[in-house]
Amino acid sequence: MSDDQPVLSIGGATAALGARPVLRGVDLAVRPGEVVALLGANGSGKSTVIRSVIGQVPLTGGTITLFGTEQKRFRDWARVGYVPQRTTAASGVPATIREVVSSGRLSRRKFGWLTKDDKAAVERAIDLVGLADRAGDSVSALSGGQHQRVLIARALASEPELLIMDEPMAGVDLASQEILASTLREQVAGGTSVLLVLHELGPLEPLIDRAVVLRDGCVVHDGPPPEALGQHALPGHDHVHPHAAGEPLRTGLLT
Amino acid sequence: MDFLEPAFMQRALIAALLVGITAPAVGVYLVQRRQALMGDGIGHVAMTGVGLGFLMSANPVWMATLVAVVGSVVMELIRAYGKTRGDMALALLFYGGMAGGVLLINLSSTGSNANLTSYLFGSLTTVSPEDITAIGILAAFVVLVTVGLRRQLFAVSQDEEFARVTGLPVRALNLLIAVTAAVTVTVAMRVVGLLLVSALMVVPVAAAQQLSKSFRATFAGAVLIGVVVALSGTVTTYYVAAPPGATIVLYAIGVFILLTLLATPLAKRRARAAEAATRDCDARVPATRRPTDDVKV
């Protein structure tokens, strides 16, 4: 693979939910080491793009290529770290941060025991998001921002080359946003490429190389991050509303 | 220890032990997936299998296993693909299974509603040596799956979407959980009965998680509680004329209440410790706007 070959490229992607077209010919590329933000209003198709990349939403047309391989034939998922849009990392049974983050290692070692290397990678990922002192605590005892940090650590556990994040800042307090931004900065410095859905740029702004703005399933801007407009441009505007509590968004309609 | 003397009690205790291990071992994943009542649904479907076993003069345990496995696979497919009215489809399956069982057993020459009762509420003391063989084989399968694949099943039950992105065969694992649950239901059928199976899958897990912080501890605790209540319930029925299934389930609920009461002061102490660690509340919060700012939206 040559150096400029995109780690992710989407060409002419179309997708529909029922009869409604959600993506209408989306072109997008993420080159090695690049940080690309997907912006757009609710319903513009941001999450659908992300979910089609990870194979959760089938395309009706167009292509997706990951590390030079067509997405349908792509098997090397350890190279991709995925952070879903969630407000919680908890489930019906208690689990510690370490246990949740360990499942991120499954893409490296699907079956068999965790080796010393795997365990070290898990501890490193937990440390990266600043939760090392709480690794043995139950995730249900964490705040919203800490949940998001656990989900990011889980994605980092496989030591991915491409990080895909769906609204990692949703419902996250400012302190956690800063920690996430510095985690991401370290990853990017180490050569990781990032594609992330954002509602607004916030503390991640200086990290972002390129912004792709979607409207009604079409790319309307692909270039330097746009200037914030309207209410979002106000100094100190702090966009931290949580999204639909608990319920993972399956339709992509709302995001 | 005179309860160990009779052969029927030895068989009953072996069956109870296996159920005490397997039911919570599967139940922990069902609870994690928030499908706590799945076992109940499978139990209803398994009744058709029992009826079929009587009608065809086959071993009801194996017949129930077969039908429960088919039923659980159908339920999982409905869950995975059904976008609308999933609950309706499940309800049809539950009550269809129950009605099928009652109908088939009455059609058979050897069966009657009285036979059905022993499967509905368990009939530990009539467990035959062949039953023990069947239960033993099925229990070995359940333990192999729930312990051997715990990392994979944990990931799939915790966050299905994420598990898919790690490249795990999520659909196969979901089906495996469903099949394992179905097998467990039939393992537990003779001990606690089809109507109370679900309790032994869920209540020990609920009890264990009152005290535990981790999945590992919840799993181990639930199995331990399952074994203790299954064995002690069985022994109780040797001395007291009580139905074993109901006794075991009530013991499990007793343990749940006990641990919940114990957990309350423990949680308070943990909260106090956490509070002490973050006593420092003296942080300055800078204002983002001043009264003189000209703010236009």
The pLDDT of residue B280: 55
- Nearest CB to B215; choose among A93, A136, A137: A93
- pLDDT > 90? residue A237: no
pLDDT at B296: 60
**CA B127 to chain centroid:** 21
Q: Considering only residues A32 and B115, tell me which one the structure prediction assigns the higher pLDDT.
A: A32
Across the range A146-165, mean pLDDT stands at 92
If pLDDT is split at 50, 70 and 90, which confidence band does A251 have? very low
The alpha carbon of residue A27 is apart from the nearest alpha carbon of chain B, in Å, by: 22
Report the pLDDT value the prediction gives residue A254, as an integer from 0 to 100. 43
Contact A153, A129 (CB under 8 A): yes
Average pLDDT, chain A: 83
CB spacing of A137 vs B213 below 8 angstroms: yes
Averaged pLDDT for residues A89-93: 86
Res A220: pLDDT: 86
Residue A138: list chain B partners with CB under 8 A.
213-214
- pLDDT value of position A150: 92
A172 CB near a chain B CB, below 8 Å? no
| Whole-number pLDDT of residue B283 | 57
Q: Which amino acid would we find at residue B213?
A: K
Question: What is the number of helices (H) and of strands (E) in chain B?
Answer: 12, 0
- The amino acid occupying position A152 is I
Tell me: pLDDT of A88 over 70.
yes
What are the respective helix, strand and coil percentages of chain A, to the nearest 5?
35, 25, 45
CB pair distance less than 8 Å for B163 and A106: yes
Pick the residue from chain B with its C-alpha nearest to A54: B165
Contacts of A137 in chain B (CB under 8 A): 213
Q: Beta-strand (E) ranges in A103-246?
A: 162-166, 193-197, 210-215, 218-223
For testing contact with chain A, the best of B28, B165, B275, B297 (most A CBs within 10 A): B165
The residues of chain B scoring below 70 in pLDDT are 1, 82-86, 111, 274-297
Asked if residues B205 and B31 have their Cβ atoms less than 8 Å apart, the reply is yes
DSSP H helices, chain A, are: 46-53, 97-102, 116-128, 144-156, 174-189
- Per the prediction, chain B carries an average pLDDT of 86
**pLDDT (average), residues A159-172:** 87
Region label for B47, one of left (φ > 0), alpha (ψ between -120 and 50) or beta (otherwise): alpha
d(CA A28, CA A63): 11
Considering only residues A172 and A227, tell me which one the structure prediction assigns the higher pLDDT.
A172
Q: What is the pLDDT of residues A60-85, one digit of tens each?
A: 988 999 998 888 888 888 899 999 88
Residues whose CB falls within 8 Å of the CB of residue A110, separated by 6 or more in sequence, listed in order: B152, B166, B167, B168
Residue B181: what pLDDT?
92
Token pair for residue B178? 């469903």
AA identity, residue B52: L
Q: Determine the residue of chain B that is closest to A232 in CA distance.
A: B297
- Tens digit of pLDDT for each residue in A47-63? 899 989 988 888 898 89
Using a CB-CB distance cutoff of 8 angstroms, which residues of chain A are in contact with residue B165? Answer: 54-55, 77, 80, 82, 107
User: Considering only CB atoms, which chain A residues are within 8 Å of B31?
Assistant: 92-93
